[in-house]
Amino acid sequence: MDTTITYDEVAALVGVNILTLEPRPNFERIRMLRRHLERALQCLPCPQSVQHGWKGMVMARELYSLLTNIPFRLPTNPGAAAVYVRAVVTGQPVENTPLSRTEQASIDTLFNRRKHYFLSMQNIERACFTALDASINNAFKVSNDPAIQGWHAGMHVIEIWDQLSNINGQPTPAVMEQNDTTFRGPYSAAKAPEVLFCCIEDCAKIPLLWHNPYTNCQLINSAIRLLLTTGLYTWPFEEWSRFQPPAQTWIALRMMIQQAFQRCLSTPWHCLFSRMPLECWQKKSLMKSLPLLQLKPKSQATNGSHRSYKCAHCGQSACNT
């Protein structure tokens, strides 16, 4: 890093609309507060991940592993001053000649970046610690050192979250049942498929924290079942059935459906019908998704029982009775 992230920068992000765990911490309150910090720290640049920022500092390790295969690691202290020593290559003789100005400048640059990185981590830790300290009653602060009562400055933020989650943040059977109901709940064709994928991924996180995760097949089969009930994605799954089992992954399914949805948005309605082997009732149901499929009313009978629609692309009409 070329600059240090200041304490005030972090506090401004973390402190906005921060949630409280009163009257006592539970699974839902801890989860919402943790998400708040994750969203805030994701806005800060981090050398480890341009996409996820510093959210790995507060995110559960199991959930962060779903985002990337590279675990989040805290930077180490580079020391008080740069050490001007030439790197030694294994198997090569040690060169004892004085360092050139270019080599010294490179060592200075590397040291400064590591120093900025480490100081940024300290400021983020301090801002998060302060925010958490103000959001949680002292009675629920447990140290990782039995000799110390309450949290202490030597605890990392991830250790504080682990302590809170293990003692007060485990999902109850009622939470698990509600989560499973949401996981298998209906999906409306009027919503973009990204909403469905986001919902399923969110539901998959809770069993993972309880060490009883859904399998990859369960996630894929649930998404396929809900998508097929809409009638919009029958023909993409003809292509899906030709994939080899190793290629039928969650990421591949998501990309295929997103591409199919974009084609639905850009293809005239009557052209879509000619490609979809749908029953009459399914076509009528899909007509309710007019805003998504870019159709606009052409005329409406006075009794309200008949409505015709004009294709936004070619001007031809399609009827819904």
Tens digits of per-residue pLDDT, 139-181? 888 888 888 888 887 888 888 888 888 888 888 888 889 999 9
Q: Which residues contact 20 (CB under 8 A, 6 or more apart)?
A: 29, 33, 135, 136
Do residues 287 and 320 touch, judged by C-beta distance below 8 A?
Answer: yes
Q: Is the pTM of this model over 0.85?
A: no
pLDDT at 268: 57
Number of Cβ within 10 Å of residue 296's Cβ equals 10
pLDDT at 276 over 90: no
What does the alpha-carbon distance between residue 48 and residue 37 come to, in Å, rounded to a whole number? 18
Residue 314, pLDDT > 50, answer: no
